Structure 1
Amino acid sequence: MFAAYATITIFASLLFGSAAVIYLIGHEFPKAQLDMKGLPRSWAPVLGAMLALGALGLPGGFAIPLLGTLAAYSLVLYFTGALLAHLRVGSRKLGNWALFFATAVAALGASLLYHWS
């Protein structure tokens, strides 16, 4: 079970960490996403920081199980909010969202199964 937990956790951490970097360096993709959703561009660093904290918290669960579980749970909430932002403006382009949300759910499930079952 540890191998599955470690694989999912490391993959999720890398995925969310790369997304955080894209937000934090001021890349055009996050700006376009914020514009499409009618959100201020000034939110990009905050959203990037939230992704970065989640990405750092996931592998922290190897040492402190509760930290990893809370990080995964927070990422699930983050992407639930992203879905609501998409739906609010009528966006049906949810492919990227689905990948990120499924990864966050997998990380949460793996953490719960490995540490708390």
Structure 2
Amino acid sequence: MFIAHAVVAGLLALTLAASATFTLQRNEAIVASMRKVDVPDSWLPRLGALKAAGAVGLVAGLWLAPLGTAAAVGVTLYFIGAIVTHLRAKNFELAPAATLALMAAAALALRLAA
């Protein structure tokens, strides 16, 4: 189970690191997506920092199980919040957020099983 967890957590961490970088750099595609769901530009640094913290926590969690569990819970909640935000804005482009929420939930389940 640990190898499966390491693979899922590693892929999720890479995705989060890239997303955090694009968010903090205010990439046009990210900014446009955030604006579609009424997220203020002032939230971008905080959201980027949360993604970066999730990535670091998932990687560190490979050695420190409680940290990995906490990071997986946090990332899962982050993307559930993203799904809710999309739904409240009546924006049904949910695939990226839903995929990442499922990946985070899988990382959590595998961390707990390992």
Band of TM-score, shorter chain:
over 0.9
Residues 8 and 106, structure 1, Cα contact 8 Å, conserved in 2: yes
Partner of 2:102, secondary structure, is: helix
Aligned residue in 2 for 1:107 = 107
Amino acid at match of 1:58: L
User: What's the CA shift for 1:2?
Assistant: 2.0
TM-superposition CA deviations, 1:65-105 (whole Å, max 9, x none): 10010000000110111011101111111111122111111
| Structure 1: runs of 5+ lacking an equivalent | none
Q: Which moved more, 1:57-66 or 1:45-54?
A: 57-66
In the superposition, the TM-score normalised over structure 1's length comes to: 0.92
TM-superposition CA deviations, 1:35-80 (whole Å, max 9, x none): 1111211111110100000000001112211001000000011011
1: CA distance between counterparts of 2:21 and 2:84?
23
Residues 2 and 110, structure 2, Cα contact 8 Å, conserved in 1: no
Residues 31 and 41, structure 1, Cα contact 8 Å, conserved in 2: yes
Aligned residue in 1 for 2:19 = 19
2: CA distance between counterparts of 1:60 and 1:105?
17
Aligned residue in 2 for 1:69 = 69
Q: Report how many residues are paired.
A: 114
In the superposition, the TM-score normalised over structure 2's length comes to: 0.94
1: CA distance between counterparts of 2:3 and 2:34?
37
Residues 2 and 111, structure 2, Cα contact 8 Å, conserved in 1: no
Aligned-residue identity in percent: 37
Residues 30 and 44, structure 1, Cα contact 8 Å, conserved in 2: no
User: What's the CA shift for 1:107?
Assistant: 1.0
Q: Cα RMSD between the aligned structures?
A: 1.0
Amino acid at match of 1:55: A
Alignment pair present for 1:34 and 2:37: no
Aligned residue in 2 for 1:89 = 89
Aligned residue in 2 for 1:47 = 47
2: CA distance between counterparts of 1:102 and 1:62?
19
Amino acid at match of 2:31: K
